[in-house]
Structures are given as C-alpha cells and as structure tokens.
Structure 1
Amino acid sequence: MAVFSKYIDLAMQKYDENGLSKTTISRMILCAAICAYTFKTTYPLFGKQFVNKNNIKDAYKNNNRTSYMKLNDHIVNSTEDENSKLAEAEKLIIAKQLKKQSLHLEPGLNKEFVLQLRKLIKIIVPKVLCYESGLLIVHTLCLISRTFLSIYVAALEGAIVKFIVQKDLKRFVIVLLKWFGIAIPATFINSMIRFLESKLSLAFRTRLVRHSYRLYFKNQNYYRVSNLDGRIENADHRLTEDIAIFSTSVAHLYSSVTKPCFDLMLIGFALMRSTQKMKANIVSGPTLAIVVISLTAHIIRVVSPKFGQLVAEEANRYGYLRHIHSRIITNSEEIAFYGGHKVELQQLRQAYNRLVTQMNNIFIQKLWFVMLEQFFMKYVWSGTGMIMVSLPILMSGTSLQKKNVNDPISRDVLNSSVSERTQYLTTARNLLISAADAIERLMSSYKEIVALAGYTYRVAGMMQVFEETAQGVYHKNMIVENNEMNGIIEFKDGKPIAKGRIIYTDTPNDMTITLRAIPVVTPNCDIVVSSLTLCIEQGMHLLITGPNGCGKSSLFRILSGLWPIYAGELHIPRPVEDKPCMFYIPQRPYMSTGSLCDQIIYPDSREDMLRKGFTENQLRGILKMVCLEHIAQRDGFNAVRDWKDILSGGEKQRMAIARLFYHR
C-alpha cells in the first residue's frame, strides 16, 4: 500500500505540472463512473428494441416443437394442397400468439399496474364512509399537523439564534421554553403517525385476506387452482406473505408521498414569506430549485433499474423455496422410507441458490443506483440550497460596510440587521433541510412504487386467477393432441371448452345418477374414456374395477364437480342447503384439526350435529361399527389431538367410513 501511495503521489505531481489538480481528476473519475452507470442501465433498453423480435421468434420455435408435433406429422403425410393450407393456418396461429405475447405486460409502472392497483384499492377501501376511510382522514390530519409543527419549530430555532446574536437573555429563555413545550405534541404526532400507519396496514391486510379467502374457497377454488390451473404455483405464499407486504407497502407509501407533498407546499409558502421580508426576489430561488429537481428526477427515472420485475421474481423464488420446505414436511415419512434425503437436499440447495442469485442481482443494481441518487441528493441539491439561501441576502441591495459603526443609531441598525439575517439564514436552512428531506423521500418513493408494482402484479394476478377458476376458466400448459379433430374436445384460443351440462333433479325421492355420453378427460386434456353412459339408481350396488389410469377415480371427480365436463349431460340430485346429496370417501382420508367428535362429523360443525339430533352415544355406536370405539374410550370425544399422526393408515380409512355412516 505504501508503494502504491507513493506511485499515486508521483503521478499527481506530474499531473499538477501539466495543470491538472487532484480536484479536477476526482471530478473526472466521478463523471466517468456516472457515465458508465448510465450506459450500463440504458443500453439494455435500446438493445431490447433490436433483439425482442428475434427472441419472440426463437421462443415460438421452441414452443411449436411440442404444441404442433402431431400437426407437423400430419402435414408430412398429406398432399401438397393440404400442406399449403395447414402451413397458412399455422402461420395465422403463430401470428395470433405473437400478438398476444407482444401485448403481455410485465410488472412495472404501466397502465396494467394502475388498473390492478385501482382494483385492489376498491377492495381495501370499499366505500367513502368506512373504518379505513376514517383511519386515512385521521392519518392525513396528523401529517398536516406535523408539517405545521416543523415550520413552527424552524421559526423558533431562527428566533433563538437571533436573540443569541442580540444577547437578549429574557427573550432567549422565553423562546427556548416554547421550543421545549412544542416538543411534547411534536413527539406525540410522530408516534401517532407510525401508529396509524401500522393500523392502516393491518386494516388493508384484513380486507384483502377476507376477500381472497372468500374467493379461494368459492366453488372449490382451492382444488381448481392447484390441480386444474397452472398459473399459480404457491397460492399459500401469495395469500400470506405477498398480501402482507403489499398492505404494508401501500400504507407506508401513502405516508411517504402525502407527507412530502404537504411539506413542499407549506414550506414553499413559508420560504416565500421569509424572502419577502428580506425584500428579495421570490421567483429566482424556486425557479432554480424546480429546474434542478426536475432535471435530476428525470435522470434518476431514466436510469432506474426495473425493481418491480426484480422484486416480483424474488418473491416468486422465495415462495418456491417455502413450497419445497412444506413438501418435505408433508412427505417426511415417505422420503425417509425411500432414503431420498440427498435428492431433497439438492433441490433445496438449488432453490436457495436461485433466491441468493436474485437477491445479489438486486443488491448490485441498488449499489450503482444509490450512488447516483446520493450524488444528486446530497451534493447537487445541497449546492442548490446554498444558492437559494444566499440569493435573498446577496440581492437585497443593502451593504453593511456602508454603515457608520461609530454612530450609535447606525450601530443599532447594524446589529438588528445582522440578527435578522442570522434569523433568516437559520430558519431558511432548517426549512430547506426539511424540504430536501421531503424531496428525497419523494424520490425514494419512486423505488417503493416500482417495488409495489411487483407485489401488485402478484396479488392482483392471484385475485384474477381465483375469479376465473371460480367461473370454470383455466389456463394450463398442455400438449394439445389431435383430440379436437375427433370431435371429443373443442378448443378456443388454445383452451378446451367445457360444453357439458349438469342437470339437477328436483324430485325429492329421485336419487338417480345418470351420465350421458360424458368423456372422461384429465386436466391435461388426456382422454381416458371417450364417451361414458351410465345410470346408477337408488339402492343399487356398483363395483368399478380396472387397471391404474383407466378412470375409476376420475369418474368420481367428475361426479363431485372437481373436473369440468367437456360434453354430454350429468343428472344428479340437487344439493340441500348448499351441501351435496352424495358423500365421497377420498383415496387419502383427511384428518382435520380438532377433537375426535370433529373427525367423525367432518365437514359438519358441532352446531350442525346438534341440529341433526346426534348425541355422543350415537357417535359411539358409529365408532363401534367401524371398530374404533377404543379411541373414544382412551381419549374421549372432546380431546384435541393431531389425528393425522395418532391414527394409523387403517384407522384413517375406518374413520372415513365412520363419516359416511354419520352423513348417511
């Protein structure tokens, strides 16, 4: 290091001889760093304009290898006339898909973000007169009060300095006591602002959680989202972490934007009044500030990285990491039996490494951006503030040197002028510091808005998926075979159309289940049975056998409404009180959280059981029928246990049969 320092000193001496000082070289290095960062951030924006079309074409080449595999085989075996027709049709499909992909919007500050945020705001603040509106009004009043307090404190500090210069002890003590007195409401308002921000965040989160839970459990969406739709991989992460972060960001962003706006408006008026008292021009200073701030803000906005996309991808990878942890916990016994800990560990490490890579990418982007941001805010704006403070004094037209200091009257005028200018400088300095802090918070809010765009994209996208799946609209990546040409499934815009009908029978004694020409089709559009016609009457015993994958469980999924019906008709009894007239026993018995009584009557509640007239003796008789009465003797009906771990596999199966006897 010593040798390196000597080398630098010798080099600097040579540069000094040539007329280049250390300050000049430092400025050149700083300007070079800023130019390098600007080039680094703006080059990809221009590069995308040239490579976007090639990337889209390459992507569709890869997609068409699978999506049109069977179609290409058909083209090879057809005549030349059919070749040309199919080629034209394929071009039309690709052009349509290219148009859709070109219109696809990524998370960022765009029209889609505004529409999604507006939709979510209608959920968190449903009407003008509500609890959230009251919190917003009180929060806004506190923010305005804090701005007035800041201006008043700045005026008091200016008066304190004035009386110190005048050596007026009495007034100094009075103003100092006022300064201590105003500290009590000021600190209370500061604490109240944080308290109301937390309350707003919690209120927004509660609204979103209730709305999303209602959608999640509507029309069996919890099953459809994970099994029939492929757009959301980790719904649990979006329902918890993403909603919480979005609510906190919105509440904090309201304070970060509203408070600086109030500060700039009111502090601007206060500075204009102070400038008028100094009999100086009130236009030059604000004009200079507006020009400098607008220019620097535009530069920062242009070179700002796409934090919205970066944050959305980070949340996606974090959710996938949580999903792997949850999967290991759920299937720990199976993994232990197979000895698959090495495979699971490798997958866990890969998921974590992907998250670390994304976080490091965000850190690197922030490094250069924060450097440029601090350069403008700490130095450029500070220099502008110094010029604004000095302009009223330099342009006031009064010179202290022309005063006769030997004249007592002139001496008093001189002291008064010095104290007033000192008061003005102190007050203006404090106000400018507050204004600079407000502008800095506004500039920082831009990053928060961009980050909010990522979470808005995820939360609003989740709501949209829930609403579409509740209406039977699914999007899933699938390999489309030649099934539609056989007339079994019809497709529109690459999605299968569920044209089948469910007809409920209203006759009280008619419990017949009828299937008429219904195809059994998996969510991936694999046809298991092309057409199934079946009639099951009340009291009829039916045993369905067959090899794996022949559609035994798929038939019950269609009967229960879990899978869509793409053709034909299904006649089933109408549900009573929103509860189906049929009871199904799944392949994997589910044990809920609760007591032994809750396991037997699931999905009924205790109130439903009492309304039906069931007693513990009847429940005990049901357990005796399935040879589980020893569990009631050991634990009782009200003991809350983790029944998933307490009951064996066979006992779980018998508990599922006990539920059937209860709901019979």
Structure 2
Amino acid sequence: PAAAGAGGGARARATAGFPLSVDAFIAALQRRFPNGPDGGWMDMLTDFLSKTLTQPRGKALLAVWLLSTGTVFAIGGARYARRAQEKARRRAMRKLAGGGGSTGKDASANSCAEGKDGAAVTVGEDAGKRSGPTKRRRRNVHLMRNLQYILRRAVPNPLCKETAHLTAYSALLVVRVYMTIKIAELTGGIGKFVGARQWDAIYKQQVDFGLICIPAAVATTLLKLEANQLTLSLRETLARYVHDRYYRVFYRASCVGHTLDTLDQRATADVAELAEKVTKLYGNVLKPTLEVALYSYRLSRMIGPAELSVFFLYFVASSSWLQLIMPPFGKLTAEQQRLEGELRGHHSRLLTHAEEIAFCGGGEREKELADTALKKISRQANVVHLLRSCVGVLDSYSVKYGGTMAAFSMMLPAVYLSNRKSTKGKNMVETTGYYLVATALFKALGDACKELYMSSYKGVSEVAGLTQRVYELMHHLEERGASGGPDREEERIRALCRAHERCTRVPPKVTMLEADPEVSGETPRVSMRHVDVFAPDGHLLVSDINIEVHQGASLIIEGPNGSGKSSLLRTLCGLWPLVSGEVMRPRPSAQTFLFVPQRPYLMPGTLRALLVYPEKEPKVPDAALDARLAEAMEQVGLSYLAPREGGWDAHRDDWIDVLSGGEKQRVAIARLLFHRPTFAALDEATSAVSADIEGKLVARLIAAGITLISVSHRPNLRRFHTRALTLEGDGGWKVRSI
C-alpha cells in the first residue's frame, strides 16, 4: 500500500498540468467498476494510463490526437453548415418557382434521366450543384448503374471466356489468401521454437516453410497472369462491342448534331484503361474481403470477439471521417482524361493539316495552343497529386499506423492477463509464439482492411471517371441508332427543322433501288421530291426541291459558296437526316452508287488495296485484276505510279504523304473507273487538277457509262452533263437543260 501510494503521488505530480489527474480518472473508473469489468482489466488499464499519460511523448501524442479530432469536427461542421445553407437556398427557390413544392416538371428536370438498361445520367441545373452525402450517394448509385450497364456487355453470358477467366482469377485469389495464413502460422511457429531453442522443430518448420512457398509462388505468378488475361478479354469484348456500333454510325456520331468530345480516345484508350482498372478493382475488393473474413475468424479464436470488434470499430470510424474530407477524385480523373484528349487532339490536328499549317506559318501558333493544353494538364495533375498527398498523410497515419496501434492494444489483454484459452497456462516461450502469430495476422488484417477501404472508395472514385466516359460513348452510340433503334438526335433535328416556316413538312421517305432492274422493277435513277435541305443546326439551305436523274443523263450542281451544294449531296447520300420529302436512289455499293469528295480517302495498305477500296484486296494476286487496275491507272495518266512505288504490292502506311494533291484525286477517279458504278456523286472531285486534265477525266467517266451528279465551279465541265441545277443561296433553285 505504501508503494502504491507513492506511485499514485508521482502520477499526480507528473500530470499536474492536466485538468483531470490520472489518479482522479482511475478513481472514477474504480467507482464505476468497483470489482473490475473482467478480473484484471482494471489493473491493466491503470498500468497503461499511468505509463502513457505521465510521459512527455504520451502528452504529445494526446495533443496530436485532440488537434486532429478537432480539425475533423471543424471540417465536418463547416460542410454541414454549407449543406444546410444549400438546402435552404434550394427550398427557397422551389417556393418561389412553384409555391412551396416542386412540380412534376421541375422534379423531372432535376432528377435522373434513365438510359437504356437502367443506366442513369444526372441532368438539370440543381443536379450538378448538390453537395455532401446526397451528392455522394447519387454519384455512387449512378456509378453502379453505369458500371452494370458496361459489364453486361463485357460479360454477355455465363459461359463466355470472360466468365472462365473471372472464375479462375477468383479461385487463385482464395488460394493466395490461404497460403498467406499458412505462412503467418509457420512464421509464428519458428519464432516460438527459436525462443525454446528446439532446433529439430526449427529445422522441420523451415522445411515446411520452404515447401509451402513453392505453391505460394506459383499461385502468385498465375494470379498476375490471369489478371492480365481477364483484362485483355474484357478490353477485347468491350472494344468489339464499341466497334460494331461505332462503325455503323461513325459519321452521324462525330459530325451531325450533338457529338461527344474525343470519341477516338474514348473508344481506344479509355476502354483499355477501364478494363485494366475494373480487373484491378475486382481483385483489390475480393482479396481483402476474403482476408478480412479468414483473418477475423482466426483472431476471434485467439483473442476473443470483443477485442476484434473494437479493432473493426476503429477502422469504421477512421474510414468514415476520411470519407468526410475526401476530395472528388472521380470528377478530377474525368477532367484529367478530358484534358489529355484535348492535347492529343492538338497533335492529331497538326498531323492532319500539316501542309496547310506549314504554308500559313502557323507552327508557332499551334505550339502555343499545345503548350497551353499541356499547362492545363500539369496544373490539373499538380492539384490531384497535392490532394492525394494530403489525404495520403491522414490515411497512412489513421488507417495504416493507427490500425497497427489498435492491433497492439487489442492483443494486450490476452498477453497481459493470460485469461484466454490460447494463452492460459502457457509459458513465456508459448506466449511469445502466440504473440508472433497474432501480430502477423493482425498486421495482415490491418493491411486487408486498408486495402479494402482504398478499393471501396479510392479505387471506385478512380474508376468512376472512366466509367462515365465509356458509358457516355456507349449511350451516345445507342442514341444515334447504332443498335437498330431510332436516331434520337436525328429526331431532334427533324423536329427543329420542321418548325421552320418554309418547311414543306412532307413525311420523309427513303427508297433504295436494287442493282438489278429486273429485281426492283424500277429503272435506275436518283430522285428527290419535295425535299427540304437543312443544316443540322436548323438553317434552311434548299427548299422544296424536285429533281430526277436517270441513267445516262448526268447533272451538274452550281451555285455560290454556302448555297448548299455539298449539303444537297450529303442529304441525297443519307449522311444528313432527311427532314421532309422523298429520296430514291440505288442501294450504296461499289457497283451502283459511289461518292467521291474533294479530299479522297486513301487507306493504308498496298497500291492494289488502295484502288479496289471499299472492296477487299484478294489474298492471292490475280493477273486479270491487275490488268484492269493498270488500265484504269492509264486512263487517268498514272501509269507511272505502280512502277515508281514498287508494283501493286507496294505497301504504305500513309499514301497521303506519298501522293500529290492532283495524284490523290486521279487515284479516286481511277477507283471509279475500276468499279464502274451506275451513278457517282462528285463533290469537286477534280478541283486539284488542271482544266485540260479535268476534262479528260470527266470524259473517261462518261465514256465508261457512269452517270454523274457533279458539284463544280468550273464552267468547262457543263458540256459533259445533260442538265444544270443552280442553287440561289436563299433556298431557291432552278434546273436548266444544257
């Protein structure tokens, strides 16, 4: 008693700076639990408090904890106050707008627009301004719906190869967790026998450790391999799904009406990165979940469920307040991807228009634009890195190191009191072995909890941005009719244009004629009846046009710039939506109807493939085919091209850099002469060649039996056509015979 009294006085003097002395605190505990809650718990708690709070380091640690707790409550209070103000503002706006309640129209405008298969996108002004838990919950719901929308297309059925890879990956994760537990047990056993100096048992444990490491190493390697296989399989399936739809509507999706930015990046880099992130997220969620379950079962038998529950309560509390201050990394990731797409677009535009930019001396200006885009990326990346660093400090201390401190605290009762089945009646060596095994399992459990938290919030936040971008791509293609449904953007454009006062409002109809007149029962012709030509923005270009082009009676379209000549061809060929009237034309194919623009498309590949496009190049060289190609090239004055480039099998990745402007257009004319379609639409397809060569080229096309619908500003081409269509620029038009 005297010694205890002296120790109590020392503790009282050492804690004189505290408002409540250690002795007073302990006395309060003793009054609350006069007999101790569990035998020796009060002795252990008294010893812990007296040795912790009487040290300067203990006081410093307590001060840090109080400061961090106060900071968290301050941040939480500020956010709560801001959310309250925002709710009050929205409530006041609703009262002003609808007399105290949100009308059905307002509610639908500020709610979720359900996409196909239940995928949702938030619309409305207030939706983008929500903050706090409501916004986070809504964002998480949208993420899961969008992710489910994507995964249903990535894993189409239970018997696909993606399911097989997923099953194998999950099984390997289970094996790896089991191996981790066995290795932890062997490590503790070796420590126990080292303390007891039982060398035979140590040697046996080392042999067992070496043997179990063999399947552990194989499982780890196979796990990485299967993760890569699953990533590749998901990427291939998603890319094929996007390709099947994107290449059906690529023109409408990228050039007509509402379009998405950086479609190329979404369809390639974003799809690949999403497949990798989803696979990583699945492994990072399943593995720690299994580890938490198995480690918890083992530790509950070793230290008891009460202490384990306190350990989990600590992780729940620390994770909750971290989520409270967590920045919106998903939104930041999406913005980073958008800025990366802008920079890639600058470089792509430079390569596409290199000659024009070089002639204008615009290299310095393009460099400034690229540098500005790069500066935006750097600024955004610095913000993200700074936020990650700040959150990382709090995360490392509270979750990683704090979890270790919590684990040690939970192991103290079993070791200190020796009142658990696993420690009762054991000597020092056996207790040491127990401590080593429990330490290893607690460390693994803490790492698993941390990894599960990182995956469930941080990992999901990183995937959220990519998921949104890929979902927007898929949803956009669905909206443009890529899956066989109606094109909603074209419907919107039609509704906009039909509201024009000069629109004829004749129901739109497109009739496709078969190549064989005996099958279709119609003579080959191209006709437009009561057709209004509108730009996608609703601007009227040509009003109520009626024109018919029969086989053998070519038509030339003339008019000032901006009068709608090319737009008329786009509407005729189906590139732009038909607002009103009836269009009749042959079904597009290489033998019936071809369109040749001013800048012809030259695909990469051999010279033979360049000329037979859009048909496939034969795998086996055909002498008769090469003879026809040589004849077509001779008719356009390019007989020298094949010998110069190394024959018909000469391969080029980019023929645009090889051929001049006139050669490109003559190659396109040679392609027409090779296929010999019934009709051909030429949109200034010979503007880059001289007038005398242009006349010869058009004469060769007429001699080959091709009926032309030509757009040209050169009057010397009128003699090759039967009629001339003149567009007046204000919607008016007239047709004259030549």
2:299–2:441: 8 Å Cα contact kept in structure 1? yes
Which residue in 2 is equivalent to 1:563?
A: 576
Question: Shift of the alpha carbon at 1:395?
Answer: 4.2
Any residues of structure 2 matched to 1:411-426 within 5 Å, and which?
A: 417-426=427-436
Which residue in 2 is equivalent to 1:408?
A: none
Report the secondary structure of 2:158's partner residue.
coil
Any residues of structure 2 matched to 1:390-429 within 5 Å, and which?
A: 390-397=412-419, 417-429=427-439
Report the secondary structure of 1:247's partner residue.
helix
1:260–1:441: 8 Å Cα contact kept in structure 2? yes
Superposed CA RMSD in Å reads: 3.4
Q: Distance in 2 between matches of 1:110 and 1:97?
A: 20
2:497–2:579: 8 Å Cα contact kept in structure 1? no
- 1:526 and 2:545 matched: no
Question: Shift of the alpha carbon at 1:387?
Answer: 2.1
Which residue in 1 is equivalent to 2:358?
A: 336
Question: Shift of the alpha carbon at 1:55?
Answer: 11
Which residue in 2 is equivalent to 1:301?
A: 323
Which residue in 2 is equivalent to 1:186?
A: 216
Q: Distance in 1 between matches of 2:80 and 2:262?
A: 31
User: Aligned in 2, Cα 1:44/1:236: closer, same or farther, shift over 3 Å?
Assistant: farther
- 1:313 and 2:313 matched: no
Amino acid at match of 1:336: A
Report the secondary structure of 2:512's partner residue.
strand
Question: Shift of the alpha carbon at 1:157?
Answer: 1.4
User: Aligned in 2, Cα 1:607/1:390: closer, same or farther, shift over 3 Å?
Assistant: same
User: Aligned in 2, Cα 1:624/1:186: closer, same or farther, shift over 3 Å?
Assistant: same
Which residue in 2 is equivalent to 1:457?
A: 468
Amino acid at match of 2:289: C
2:403–2:446: 8 Å Cα contact kept in structure 1? yes
- TM value normalised by structure 1: 0.81
Q: Distance in 2 between matches of 1:432 and 1:34?
A: 25
2:511 paired residue among 496, 503, 513 = 503
Q: Distance in 2 between matches of 1:599 and 1:570?
A: 31
Q: Distance in 1 between matches of 2:70 and 2:508?
A: 63
User: Aligned in 2, Cα 1:607/1:481: closer, same or farther, shift over 3 Å?
Assistant: closer
Which residue in 2 is equivalent to 1:47?
A: 82
User: Aligned in 2, Cα 1:593/1:34: closer, same or farther, shift over 3 Å?
Assistant: farther
Q: Distance in 1 between matches of 2:445 and 2:202?
A: 26
Question: Shift of the alpha carbon at 1:178?
Answer: 1.0
1:628 paired residue among 635, 638, 651 = 638
Amino acid at match of 2:451: R
- 1:378 and 2:386 matched: no
Deviation digits for residues 464-491 of structure 1 (CA, Å, limit 9, x no counterpart): 111211342228999x99972516299x
- 1:656 and 2:679 matched: no
Question: Shift of the alpha carbon at 1:258?
Answer: 0.5
Gaps of 5+ in 2: 1-14, 20-55, 94-102, 112-122, 129-134, 515-519, 677-738
Amino acid at match of 1:500: P
Which residue in 2 is equivalent to 1:113?
A: 143
- 1:472 and 2:487 matched: yes
Deviation digits for residues 313-360 of structure 1 (CA, Å, limit 9, x no counterpart): 110111111011111111111111101122212211221111122112
Which residue in 2 is equivalent to 1:486?
A: 501
Deviation digits for residues 506-564 of structure 1 (CA, Å, limit 9, x no counterpart): 52552111111111111222211132221111111111111111111111111211100
2:295–2:441: 8 Å Cα contact kept in structure 1? yes
Which residue in 1 is equivalent to 2:119?
A: none
User: Aligned in 2, Cα 1:31/1:368: closer, same or farther, shift over 3 Å?
Assistant: farther
* Greater strand fraction, Structure 1 or Structure 2: 2
Q: Distance in 1 between matches of 2:472 and 2:266?
A: 10
Report the secondary structure of 1:110's partner residue.
helix
User: Aligned in 2, Cα 1:289/1:157: closer, same or farther, shift over 3 Å?
Assistant: same
Question: Shift of the alpha carbon at 1:35?
Answer: 4.6
Any residues of structure 2 matched to 1:175-254 within 5 Å, and which?
A: 175-218=205-248, 221-254=249-282
Which residue in 1 is equivalent to 2:447?
A: 437
2:533–2:567: 8 Å Cα contact kept in structure 1? yes
Question: Shift of the alpha carbon at 1:661?
Answer: 1.1
Q: Distance in 1 between matches of 2:283 and 2:476?
A: 31
Amino acid at match of 2:269: E
- 1:148 and 2:178 matched: yes
Q: Choose 18-27 or 439-448, whichever is displaced more.
A: 18-27
1:41–1:304: 8 Å Cα contact kept in structure 2? no
State, as a whole percentage, how many aligned pairs show the same letter: 27
- 1:257 and 2:265 matched: no
Report the secondary structure of 1:272's partner residue.
helix
Report the secondary structure of 1:514's partner residue.
strand
Q: Distance in 2 between matches of 1:580 and 1:56?
A: 65
Amino acid at match of 1:486: E
Report the secondary structure of 2:541's partner residue.
strand
2:72–2:321: 8 Å Cα contact kept in structure 1? no
2:498–2:579: 8 Å Cα contact kept in structure 1? no
1:510–1:573: 8 Å Cα contact kept in structure 2? no
Amino acid at match of 1:645: D
Q: Distance in 2 between matches of 1:49 and 1:538?
A: 73
- 1:101 and 2:116 matched: no
Gaps of 5+ in 1: 1-15, 59-90, 276-281, 400-412, 491-497
User: Aligned in 2, Cα 1:241/1:114: closer, same or farther, shift over 3 Å?
Assistant: same
Question: Shift of the alpha carbon at 1:393?
Answer: 3.0
User: Aligned in 2, Cα 1:397/1:35: closer, same or farther, shift over 3 Å?
Assistant: closer
User: Aligned in 2, Cα 1:364/1:550: closer, same or farther, shift over 3 Å?
Assistant: same
Q: Distance in 2 between matches of 1:101 and 1:634?
A: 61
Deviation digits for residues 380-432 of structure 1 (CA, Å, limit 9, x no counterpart): 31222112222223344499xxxxxxxxxxxxx98x52222111111111111
Q: Distance in 1 between matches of 2:550 and 2:183?
A: 85
Q: Distance in 2 between matches of 1:581 and 1:369?
A: 64
- TM value normalised by structure 2: 0.73
Which residue in 2 is equivalent to 1:345?
A: 367
Question: Shift of the alpha carbon at 1:31?
Answer: 4.5
Question: Shift of the alpha carbon at 1:95?
Answer: 9.3
Report the secondary structure of 2:583's partner residue.
strand
1:229–1:476: 8 Å Cα contact kept in structure 2? no
Q: Distance in 1 between matches of 2:251 and 2:382?
A: 36
Which residue in 2 is equivalent to 1:74?
A: none
> Relative contact order (alpha carbons < 8 A, sep ≥ 6): 1 or 2 greater?
1
Which residue in 2 is equivalent to 1:76?
A: none
Which residue in 2 is equivalent to 1:592?
A: 603
Amino acid at match of 1:617: A
Q: Distance in 1 between matches of 2:76 and 2:386?
A: 12
Aligned pairs, number = 585
Q: Distance in 2 between matches of 1:191 and 1:311?
A: 30
